[in-house]
Amino acid sequence: MSAALTILDAVPARSVLQALPQPIIVLDEARKIQFVNYAAEAFFGASLSVLTRQKLDDLLAFGSPIISLVETVVNRRAPMTEYRVRIGSSRFGDERIADVFASPMSDVDGQVAVLIQERTMADKIDRQMVSRGAARSVTGLAAMLAHEIKNPLSGIRGAAQLLEQTVASDEVPLARLIREETDRIVGLIDRVEVFGDERPMEREPINIHVVLDRVKLLARNGVARGITFFEEYDPSLPPVLGNRDQLIQVFLNLVKNASEALERTQKPEIRLSTAFRPGIRISVAGVAERISLPLEIVIEDNGPGVPLDTLPFLFDPFVTTKTNGSGLGLALVAKIVGDHGGVIDCESRPGRTRFRILLPVANGVFQQNSDEVSTK
């Protein structure tokens, strides 16, 4: 057995490596895997005994930059880092983006330790924070629009109604068009105006499954008629501190979007799932401690997916993939989720789109400071 493995088998060192949440791989001079921790087993979906029978080249996609990184570390005998590396493997379907740290083992020549820090969730939360900043910008725009534009629009609508009664019959459709378009603009402004509502909302502990059942009932009798629903619920999930009506609005909007995306899909399906996922924490305004977001709710459909060029900006105001969409639905969803102290992200590829919402439980900091705490 090599000196490196002898060190790894020592109880303190091995316990430390196994306790780390980041995947760690130890390689010999031929890039054969000598050791992986529990996080690496979970990352690649294989046990220690299976992985230690393989080389790194067998585990990763052909031409992976991690292989050249390890070669450089061996040759230079110095640690190196690659940021935002795309990791592909036969062990999992989608590519993952991660920062990769590689360092030579000081005890044995040619051996390298590799640590993988997956970037996916961090990047998504960063994008969520940017989207909230854009939503706050819309708040100021909403106030200006409501005050400066709605009043003259009322005059235009009234004039159009009078014209409908006085113009020739062949000109009535034009007068009606003016009235209808004015109503459409007012409706759009009303939707934007929602972003300016900063009043504290009433919250109480809510069973999220009760909310999802109501959303499913509404959708099955409306926008999602004819679509098959599947539920994968964790019955032991603790309650969330939230506003029932606003949470219904959030999930109904997501289900409605999924239903519209499934219009041309054979055997359309929507899957609702919940789980308890400890480990994700964020900083919020006015609170020194980081807030845990262990409640996971996922809305998944088997539609065509979201265009890749749109995906990073999906929650920004006025971004939409619909021909007649306003681009405010998902921005409002993100605002409500943020008001509840949570985050939302989207993963999409053809045949599967997943909207995932992470929320805090109904106790601790958010329960004590429910009126003044807002996520940044």
Q: Which of 139, 174, 196 is the last residue of a domain?
A: 196
Percent of the chain with pLDDT over 90: 13
CA–CA distances in Å: residue 168 to residues 75, 139, 174, 180, 195: 87, 43, 10, 18, 42
CB 253 within 8 A of CB 329: yes
pLDDT digits (tens, 9 = 90+) for 330-357: 878 888 888 888 888 888 888 889 999 9
CA–CA distances in Å: residue 123 to residues 84, 99, 359: 10, 12, 18
Same domain, 233 and 329: yes
| Residue-number span of the structural domain to which 23 is assigned | 4-119
CATH number at 234 reads: 3.30.565.10
Distance of CA 122 to the CA centre of its chain: 10
Same domain, 190 and 308: no
Same domain, 262 and 240: yes
What pLDDT score was predicted for residue 268? 93
Same domain, 71 and 217: no
CB 240 within 8 A of CB 205: yes
Same domain, 209 and 183: no
Q: Which of 91, 119, 147 is the last residue of a domain?
A: 119
How many whole angstroms separate alpha carbon 197 and alpha carbon 136?
11
CA torsion sign for 363, 369, 372, 376 is negative
Q: Which stretches of the chain drop beneath a pLDDT of 50?
A: 1-7, 11, 286, 364-376
What pLDDT score was predicted for residue 366? 40
Same domain, 39 and 81: yes
CATH number at 106 reads: 3.30.450.20
Q: What is the DSSP string of 274-296?
A: EEE-TT-EE-EET-SSPEE--EE
Same domain, 130 and 36: no
Same domain, 351 and 210: yes
Same domain, 321 and 333: yes
Domain count, the chain: 3
Tokens of 309: 């060029």
What pLDDT score was predicted for residue 373? 33
